[in-house]
Amino acid sequence: MLTKDVISYSSLFLLLFFLGTSSPGYTQTPIDELGVGGDIFIDEPGHYFLRDTLWVNRAYRDGITIRSDNVTLDLNGFAIMAGPLATRDGIEIDANNNNITIKNGVIAGFGKDGINAFSADMSTFQNLHLRDNGGEGLRVDFSCLIVDCTATGNGSFGFLTDDCSIIRNCTASNNALDGIRTGDGCIIDHCTSFNNGEEGINPSPGSKVEGSITYDNATHGLRIEYASMCINNTSYRNGWNGIEINDNALIMYNVSNDNGQCIANGTCGSGTNGQGVRTSHGAGIRTFANSRVAFNQCDGNYFGLVGAAADASFISNSAQHNRHAGIIGTGSGSLYLKNTAEGNGFAQSPTTSDITTYPLGNIVFSINIVNEISVGPIIDISNAGDISTLSGASHPFANFSY
């Protein structure tokens, strides 16, 4: 039995709740009460929601325009759909309004962006499907959170963010440009990006990509700028590099297989844009100066692992069955320790450009390191049997080719 005190507190709570929801400035409003057919404006803070699919069919008008801070728009499992005249954005956030939440539905078919939130900082986008829009699927400003969303078949980027945003558990596919493109200092966590017309995932400097999968993109699977982290990702069947990452990066525990087929046959993966023959690219992993590359696997690519600049370190990487070299080091002052390379080499005679770019001649090779001063011994253990008798094989920093 409830005591008088419990009943009193319960009654007080309900009274305060109803008083709060009826206080000035707080609304719970069905979108259809604001208008039909698009060109709908949200001008006050509050909670807004759909009760049915919203069809937008007004020329030169956005479907919904948000012109207030502190708005939640719940699509409630329904869709905002473009009719033949809907040539602008599905949802636009206007005039630097912040703390917006949009969630739980589909936005499709608009002439420009599915959601244009490039004036909205510190906002959240959750459980949205953004498809077949003429511009970006979702475009956001600084410090936003995008979680459990998909962007498919859009005419530009799938997801486009400014700096300091987080994209988590999202999927981008069949977009004309990059699947996911971000500003500086962003986190891309456990996302999948495939069959996009350019890069799968392309963050700006100071970012972190972890636990993500990229495949069948026309150019790079992951293309990451300097001072970034690339950890525990999988990249395969991309047309150019599986992972290309610039200077001062940390690259660990990635798997990058079967990339760079455009180098071999003139087309790029299963993506939409062929890149032609570029003999200096097409690697499982390609990196530049002052990077740390460790515990990665590169199998079945055109090149396995390419260190294209000075003062990097390559430790305990594996490169197997790559068409060209398993591991190539072309800079100076880098460190190569405990790497293994097996079954690599030319599947065809090297071209003049191959020989000019990498002066290796008509040979089959697994590890080729030039201009270096800090390299563990490279031991060829092909058909060696017991390798303990080979000179240098017991060196703690030996690299093995077989």
DSSP 317-377: -EEES-SS-SEEE-SSS-EEES-EEES-S-SSPPPHHHHHHS---S---SEEE-S-SEE--
Mean pLDDT value across residues 45-63: 91
Give the pLDDT band (50/70/90) at residue 4.
very low
Please give the structure tokens belonging to residue 278.
């570029």
Are 402 and 382 within 8 A, CB to CB?
yes
Tens of pLDDT, residues 387-396 = 877 888 888 8
pLDDT at position 379: 80
Highest mean pLDDT among 46-60, 73-87, 166-180, 320-334: 166-180
The residue that leads in pLDDT, 287 or 131, is: 131
pLDDT at position 261: 62
Looking at the DSSP assignment, which residues form a beta bridge with residue 235? Answer: 214, 256
Tens of pLDDT, residues 197-231 = 999 999 999 999 999 999 999 999 999 988 999 99
- CA proximity to 318, closest of 288, 338, 292, 301: 338
- CA proximity to 224, closest of 115, 212, 216, 381: 212
pLDDT at position 59: 79
Give the pLDDT band (50/70/90) at residue 346.
low
Give the pLDDT band (50/70/90) at residue 125.
very high
- Strands in 169-289 per DSSP E: 171-173, 180-181, 187-189, 192-194, 201-202, 208-210, 213-215, 222-224, 229-231, 234-236, 243-245, 250-252, 255-257, 283-287
Mean pLDDT value across residues 320-349: 78
Q: Is the pLDDT of residue 255 over 80?
A: yes
Q: State the DSSP string of 130-144.
A: EES-SS-SEEE-SS-
CA atoms within 13 A on the CB side of 366: 22
Are 165 and 147 within 8 A, CB to CB?
no
Which DSSP letter does residue 262 get?
A: H
Which of 137-151, 167-181, 260-274, 340-354 is the least confident region? 260-274
- CA proximity to 50, closest of 33, 67, 65: 33
Amino acid in position 375: V
